[in-house]
Amino acid sequence: MAVQRGWSSLQAPRLINIPHRILNAMHRPAVEFKGPDVKGFCKALSIDFKNIYKTKINHPFIYAANGHGVWKSAITNILAPGAKVLIPETGRFALSWLYMAEM
């Protein structure tokens, strides 16, 4: 029996065939965050933000991070140092929130 590597179907909530154009897109290399493509994209995005929010004097700040980086940003911007936080322990992610809030 031949072994087939990679994904050919998505199993949520039922078996779904993944089109070849999607499979091919998944095989592209990751974008370098410090590369010229991202810098150009962020510059264009900054201009679009100014148009969306109808501002000419403010400069949007683009913060690239994974999910934990967003958590840290939210905690830092919403809570004062030493503030009390109630985090129900409901599993791994709740513990991550707890550890991040304690930092």
Map out the domains of the chain as residue ranges: 34-64, 66-103
pLDDT at 9 over 70: no
Note the pLDDT of residue 26.
82
pLDDT at 16 over 80: no
Contact 7, 18 (CB under 8 A): yes
Tell me the Cα Rg of the chain: 21
The answer for residues whose C-beta is within 8 angstroms of residue 7's C-beta and 6 or more apart is 18, 23, 26
Structure tokens given for 70: 């967003």
More confident of the two residues 62 and 42 = 42
Rounded Cα–Cα distance for residues 37 and 49 (Å): 18
Grade residue 96 by pLDDT with cuts at 50, 70 and 90.
confident
Q: Mean pLDDT, to the nearest integer, of 36-57?
A: 85
pTM as predicted: 0.45
pLDDT at 4 over 60: no
